[in-house]
Every structure is written in structure tokens, then in C-alpha cells.
Amino acid sequence: MQDTLASTMPGVFSLGEESQQIVQQIKDLTDQAKDLAEKKFSQQQDINSTKESRDKLEAEAADQIWNRLADFPYELRQKMKGLNRSKKDAFSLIIRHFKDSTKPNKTDLDRLNLDDLKSRAEKVFSSTLHEVGTAPPVPPITWKECHLADSLQTPVTSSADVPLKTLIDELDNSDWVRQGKTYLEAQEKHPPQCPFCQKETDDSLREQLSRLFDTHYENQIASIKKLDQEVKQFYEQLKEYHNNYLNIGIKYSNHDSFEASFKDLQSALLQALQQLEKKISTPAMIYDNPHLADHYQQVLQHSSQISAEIKAHNNLARNQNEEKDHLIDQSWTYLIWITLKHDLQNYLTKKEGLDKKIGGLEEKVKDKSLKLKDLEKDIKSLQSKTASSQYTIDKINELLKVHRFHSFKLKKAPNPEQGYQIVRSDEVIADSNTLSEGERTFLTFLYFYHSLEGQIGEGETPRLCAVIDDPISSLDADIMFVVSALIRNMIRLVQENEHDRVDQILIFTHNTRFHQEVSYPSKGRTNKNSMFYRIKKLSPAPNEIEACGRKNPVRSSYQELWDQVADATLHPDKPMPWLANTLRRILESYFMALGGYTDLYSLADELSQAQRMHHHALVAWSHRGSHRIIDDTIFAPIQASNQDWLKAFENIFSRASGGAHLGHYEMMLEEAKPAPANQS
């Protein structure tokens, strides 16, 4: 405020005595501008130096990465578009790929192999790539390993209970006897002769031999012979498979291990066949099992590997273009996340530090540039702003006179022209320090108020948002009404789009009385061009702005009591244990403190018993109250619904003085009801 009531320097408003601090202000502002300019120049030099360091870092990193690229396989590099251009282009491309890509997980990186990428590149970029036929599966084994083992390792002997068996078991010559039986059965002579002693055999001997080698025995021998045929058949199938598909196996599998697995299986099969031949000749003997299953699994494993390789080859041939793109992507991943990872991370970390330093310095330079502009503007304003006029002087003096400020007024300053001076009634220039705080506040407000209607100054926008923050400090009630009236008039002009320059007004105040006065035109109705807000102080947390809509949130304590009644009326089922106490406070304030009523009991004479009980409860509480709107007396209400209390409350207004107070009841409820939330 003291700065507003300043001196008479050229081009300065002269709302006060001459030779205030304007000259010193201009000098101080000029010194500040010089200091800011020097600091700005120094920081700009620092920016240039840091940019040179960043350029040097980039050149060194580009050289390092270019040299590393020379060691990357050419067959991959030539397919990675952009890497074979200039060093600068290749470096920029690699940096962009590194920044844009997401780091693969360790498992995916571990799967990447440079030799594998090179091998795939030879295939996928080949012009002769085509699909090939697949090898059939390995012939299956038709017997169970356990059956072969049992057949070879289980002695086949007779189970008949005949005298001859005891002798055969003692001599352990079952196979010899069986061969003799075959010879005996082949003779045409009857009775046949024994092949060993040449004597004729009797029926008893032939019967015992027949019982010794019965059907069960022969079935066992037949089973072994069948197994022998199965093994022979599989051996021939495997031999044919080996001869027909050996070349495919050599191309898609390890040749030595592939051939060795076949030889091992064939060798085991030959051994099994030899053992089976012996078993057929001498069924009672036990022979070793050659364990074919292990060798067969080795062959199956190689066959599966061959099939997988052929399938992969054919997929590659069918999807050659997609595989090219996939291989190039994997090559980029290997290059930036394995080959160049540490070099790129080291470069980008250092560059980030330099970028942050440059960014911070540029912000400081920008801030100083803005401050320099503001200082230049302030200096020009102090030296050349002369936007006052005699019309404004007359308007302010008229307001001062109407509101009985006779001890001072404004007049033009003789030098510089268009300036203002404060003079006493005897035309003596007034010392602003001799004005009371209220006079200075009022005069400053009038100056601000009329400046909003003045001509546009240099650097000002044609349309304004006026901000008024508690303009009534140290003003008495009469002047507060004047200030409120002026602001209300400006609000009306803005709402009706009739103000010359102001498009919006923001009014801040802590004074509820001033708030009520300045918002008086909005009382009882809403305006689509007005909004109310409440700033909640939540220290130490940041303050919070609460939107109150278009309804004035500042109300008296009495009005707030009626707000609670309106809330209960709108929400009759909502739990409100405080309702009876609120109704009691309204009754004692309106009927007893203001109306002088001493007996409200008689109003319940014609009510029902239940209604009379609630009526008497409210009246009893109001008679015991303090006759103040705010007190420390809190009553515990009896159990009753909201509707019961509200009906008893309304009855008092409708019955007292023949219903003369019902209008007050209806008016307060009407004003208490909130405006629609989305009213526009």
C-alpha cells in the first residue's frame, strides 16, 4: 500500500508526496537486471561447455561401437538395415534400437548363440531353400522286453508225474530225451525201436514219453519259436530302414553316433537270435538276455532328432520371409544386449548426466530471461506509465465527498503530467503517512477499482481477470458497505458482459459479513455466472478447494439449524439422533428468545396422545434451554422416528398464534433446501 502512494518521478502515478523511493527503485531494478544478465551469460557459457563435452563423448562412443561392429558377423550385419551406412548413422540407429527395445529376460538371452544365428542365416537367406521329404518312424518292436527275458532265462521242462521223469531229472537230459522222442516218432516201423539201444519200445514207454512232452510243453516251445520269428522280422525291417534312410540321417544328425546306434541295435538283435536258436534246441537251458530296449531307445532318440530337424527345416522353407525378420530381430537383440550392452549403458549413463546438467542450466537461463523481461517492464512502468486522467481524479474525489472523506482529495501533479497527488482541504500536499490505515485502504481500493476501467497499458491484455482479496481491512461498517456496493456493481456488469475490460472476478475473504454483503444479489436465487468455493486449511497437508456450487455456503447458525431440518425432511429414514435437539434449539431461539412465548404446552390440547407426547417433549426441552442458538446443553432424545419429531415441530408453528408463524416455517424450509447440483 505504501508503494502505491508513491512520489512524482516522471511517468509515475503520484498518489502521495513527491520524492518517495522511485529513483532508488529504478536504480535497484537496473542493478538487479545487470546482475541477472551477468549470471545468465555465465550459465550460457557453462551450457556451451557442457554441450561440447557431450559432443566429444558421443564421438568417442561412435568410434568405439563402429570398431566393435567390424567383429560382428558380416552375414548378419549386411542384413541389418542401416548398419552399413556411415559411422554416425549406424551409431544413431543402434542407440535408437537400444532405447526402444525392452531388455530380454536372462533365459531368452542365454538361448541366443552367435554360431547358431550364422548357421540359420545361411539357410534362411539361401535362394535354394525348399522343403524336403520326411523319414518314416523307426519300425516298432512287437514284443515286450520282459517276454524275451523270460523266454531265454526260464527252463522249459516237463511237468508230468511219471516214473521216467525221475530218471530224466537225475540225469538232467530232458533235451536229449526230447530229441530221441522226435526220432522215435519219425519211424515207420511198429512198434518203433529205441534210437539208442535198438530195442523195440513198449506202449508204457511211449505213453510216458508222450505225457512228459505234453501240450503245455509244446506251447512253450511254440511261443519261443514265434518270438524268434518276430525278432528276425524286426531285424530285417531295421536293416531295410537303415539302408533306405541312412543319407537323411547323416544330413540331419551326428553321423558317428547315428551309425553307432544302429550297429549296436543290430548286434544286440543278432545276439538275441542266436540265443533264441539255442533255446529252441535246448529248451531246458538258461541263456542271457541281450537287453535290446536300451539300444532301441538310442535309435528312437536319433530318429526323433532327425524328424525335428526336418520339421524345422521345412518350417523355415514355408515361412522364409517371417523367419528372415525373426532372425534379424534376434541379431539386433544379440548385438545390443550382448555385444554392445556395456558400451551403450556406459555412454547413455554419462550422457544422461550431461543432459540433466544442460537441462538444469537452460531452465535457469530461461528463468533469468523471464525475470529480466519483468524487470525491464517494471522499469518502463516506473519511468513512462502515464495512463491517468482528470476523469478518474474527479470520479474518485466524488466518491470521497459522497462518503464524507473531506480531509483529503486527489489532484493532478504539476510535474509529471497526468500524475496524481494527495492534497488536504487547504490544497497542501499530504504526507501519506498522515492518512489513517482505513483512509489509505479505501483510497487504494478506489485507485484499483478505477484502474480496471482505464486505458490499456504497455504489455497488458485487453481483457482482465480482477482479483480482490479482503479489501475491507481497517474499514468501518459504513465504508465496508460502500466497497461492497462498488464490487456488487462490478459483478453485475461482468455478469451482463457490460464491463469494458473485466471478464472474470475472483473475490477472497475471511470476513463473513463482507461475504454476505458482496454476495447479496445472489441471496434467495442462483446465478449461472456465479460460483462459490471454500478453501479448507488442512495443515500440514496442502489446502483443499471445495466447490460449493451456485448456492451461497455462508449462512447464519440459525439458518444452519433449519438446513438440518430440511435434511431430515428430505431423508426421513436416515438415522438422525441429533434431530430432536436441533428442533429444541430452533423453538427456544424463535419462540422464546425472540417471540417471548412462555407456554407452548397448550398448543397440544387437540392432538392425539402419541403426538402430544412428542409435543410436550419438545416444549419441555425448549423451556429448560439456555435461549441461545449455541450452548453446551445436549439432550438425549426418546426413541421416536424422524417423522414424529418433524410433525410435532410443524404443529407448534401451525398452531401458535392461530397459524401466524407457519409462514416463517415454510420460508425457512424453502430457503434451506439446496439448489439442484447440475443447475446451469
3-state secondary structure 609-661: HHHHHHHHHHHHHHHHCCCCCCCCCCCCCCCCCHHHHHHHHHHHHHHHHHHCC
pLDDT of residue 537: 78
Contacts of 631 (CB under 8 A, 6+ apart): 585, 625
Angle at 425 between CA 424 and CA 428, to 5 degrees: 45
Q: Per mean pLDDT, which of 303-312, 355-364, 387-396, 553-562 is the most reliable?
A: 355-364
pLDDT tens track for 173-210: 555 666 666 655 555 556 666 666 666 665 556 555 55
H/E run at residue 24: helix 22-69
pLDDT class for 407, splitting at 50, 70, 90? confident
Is residue 223 included in any domain, yes or no?
A: yes
d(CA 469, CA 471): 6
Residue 130, CB half-sphere, CA atoms under 13 Å: how many?
3
Instruction: Give the rounded percent of residues in the chain with a pLDDT score beyond 90.
Output: 12
Query: What is the residue-averaged pLDDT of the chain?
Result: 77
The answer to whether the pTM exceeds 0.75 is no
Burial of 269 (C-beta count, 10 Å sphere; 0-12/13-18/19+): buried
Question: Cβ neighbours of residue 483 under 8 Å, at least 6 residues apart?
Answer: 442, 445, 471, 472, 475, 514
Domain boundary among 255, 289, 316: 316
> For residue 201, which amino acid is it?
T
Question: Which amino acid belongs to residue 28?
Answer: D
Phi, psi (5° rounding) for residue 466?
Answer: -90, 130
Does pLDDT of 319 surpass 50? yes
In a domain, 171, yes or no: yes
What is the phi-psi region of residue 430: left when phi exceeds 0, alpha when psi lies from -120 to 50, beta otherwise?
A: beta
CA distance 292 to 300: 12
How many domains would you assign to the chain?
Answer: 2
**Could you give the CA distance from residue 348 to residue 336 in angstroms, rounded to a whole number?**
13
Is residue 175 included in any domain, yes or no?
Answer: yes
List, as own/partner pairs, every contact residues 47-53 make where C-beta atoms lie below 8 angstroms and the sequence separation is at least 24, other chains included: 47/358, 47/361, 47/362, 47/365, 50/354, 50/357, 50/358, 50/361, 51/358, 53/354
> Which segments within 69-124 are labelled E, that is strand?
none
| End position of a domain, from candidates 263, 286, 316 | 316
Range with the largest mean pLDDT of 10-19, 84-93, 243-252? 84-93
Domain-terminating residue out of 299, 316, 333: 316
Asked if the model's pLDDT at residue 508 lies above 70, the reply is yes
pLDDT at 451 over 90: no
Contacts of 665 (CB under 8 A, 6+ apart): 650, 653, 654
Task: Give the three-class secondary structure for 443.
Answer: helix
Q: What is the pLDDT of residue 94?
A: 92
Give CA torsion, residues 394, 397, 403, 404, to 10 deg: -140
Q: At 677, is the pLDDT very low, low, confident or very high (cuts 50, 70, 90)?
A: very low
Give yes or no for a contact between 412 and 390, defined as CB atoms under 8 angstroms apart: yes
pLDDT digits (tens, 9 = 90+) for 131-142: 777 777 888 888
pLDDT at 477: 74
Q: What is the DSSP letter of 602?
A: G
Range(s) of the domain holding residue 150: 145-316
* Residue 593 forms part of a structural domain: yes
Contact 135, 253 (CB under 8 A): no
Q: Are 179 and 147 in contact (CB under 8 A)?
A: no
| pLDDT exceeds cutoff 60 at 6 | no
Backbone angles phi, psi at 97, to 5 degrees: -60, -40
Instruction: Indicate whether 621 pLDDT > 70.
Output: no
Amino acid at 395: K
Q: Which residue has the cell 466497497?
A: 483
Residue 84 counted as domain residue:
no
How confident is the model over 149-156, as a mean pLDDT?
80
pLDDT in tens, 82-126: 888 888 999 999 999 999 888 888 888 888 888 888 888 877 777
Query: pLDDT digit string (tens) for 264-315?
Result: 888 988 998 898 888 887 887 888 888 888 888 888 888 888 788 778 878 8
Q: At residue 445, does pLDDT exceed 60?
A: yes
Q: What is the pLDDT confidence band of residue 521, given thresholds at 50, 70 and 90?
A: low
- If DSSP codes are grouped into helix, strand and coil, which group holds residue 466? strand
Please report how the helices 114-124 and 292-318 are oriented relative to each other, as an axis angle in degrees rounded to 10. 60
In a domain, 185, yes or no: yes
Whether 160 shows a pLDDT value over 80: the answer reads: no
Alpha carbons 27 and 535: distance in angstroms, whole number: 40
